[in-house]
Amino acid sequence: MARLRGGMVQSVTGLAAELAVSDETIRRELRILEEQGVIIREHGGARLAAQIFEGPLIQRMEENAEAKMRIARAAAPFVSDGMIVFIDSGTTSCFIAKQLVDCKSLTIITNSLQVAADLGGINDNCLFLAAGQMDYDYRAFSDHTAQQYVGGFTPHLSILSVGAIHVDRGLMDFHPGEAAMSRIAYATSERVLLGADASKFGRYGLIHTAPLDAVGILVTDKPLDDDYSRAFAHAEVVIA
């Protein structure tokens, strides 16, 4: 992988010679990486696929906004008055939070300033905001201090977004701190609701967060294909 990160096409023969293995060994490994979306095969070699990076929150809130709104409306009924809910800082989660403004006496744990602004101080809610060093692009806290704080709670439900979903590689994200927050939520919550629009499926992310079977409720905007239907057969799947 280190040789491929330069962006240039690396030949099978050159990689085999450098690593002291056979050409067939290199071809086999490249086939696996290609299936995972990590590389692009070219004649006689391969190059690293362009990485997908997420932009600032305000930009990401505008992406697939209609689908995220439908997901938010379908997800909201899973939250009832008096629940303890963790809500992460992903854009789909922010859309869901806006649909919870009529709920009463929620205990909300979040690392998102947007979620805190929408749900704090209303309807007798109790808000716990994780703090630390703020990520200004995400308008959120996800450093070690924030992670330690969130890890002390035991939510009835965690509402999470995700950067990428792959049938073989599981759930993935692009931000190390946000990925860590997701892992904490999966470990501490009674149940996890994942909001993910169709663009997230088949995508390859940077950091693994959890296996697909960690999701209890999947809310998405389009019917799943056969592979993903089987992969999420354990979960309650809602098509918005």
Residue-wise pLDDT tens digits, 99-140: 999 999 999 999 999 999 999 999 999 999 999 998 888 889
Which tens digits make up the pLDDT trace of 33-63? Answer: 555 555 555 666 665 544 444 455 565 556 6
- pLDDT bucket at 13, cuts 50 / 70 / 90: confident
Q: Are strands 39-42 and 45-48 parallel, antiparallel or unpaired?
A: antiparallel
Distance of CA 194 to the CA centre of its chain: 8
Which tens digits make up the pLDDT trace of 175-234? Answer: 899 999 999 999 999 999 999 999 999 988 889 999 999 999 999 999 999 999 999 999
Task: Give the span between the Cα atoms of 216 and 186, in whole angstroms.
Answer: 10
Average pLDDT over residues 141-163: 96
Average pLDDT in the chain = 86
Domain ranges across the chain = 4-48, 57-239
CATH code for the domain defined by 57-239? 3.40.50.1360
Alpha helices in the chain (DSSP H): 12-19, 23-35, 57-60, 65-75, 91-98, 113-119, 144-150, 176-188, 226-231
The dihedral formed by the CA atoms of 165, 219, 174 and 29, expressed in degrees to the nearest 10:
0
Question: In residues, how long is the chain?
Answer: 240
Amino acid 178 reads E
The dihedral formed by the CA atoms of 90, 153, 182 and 195, expressed in degrees to the nearest 10:
-50
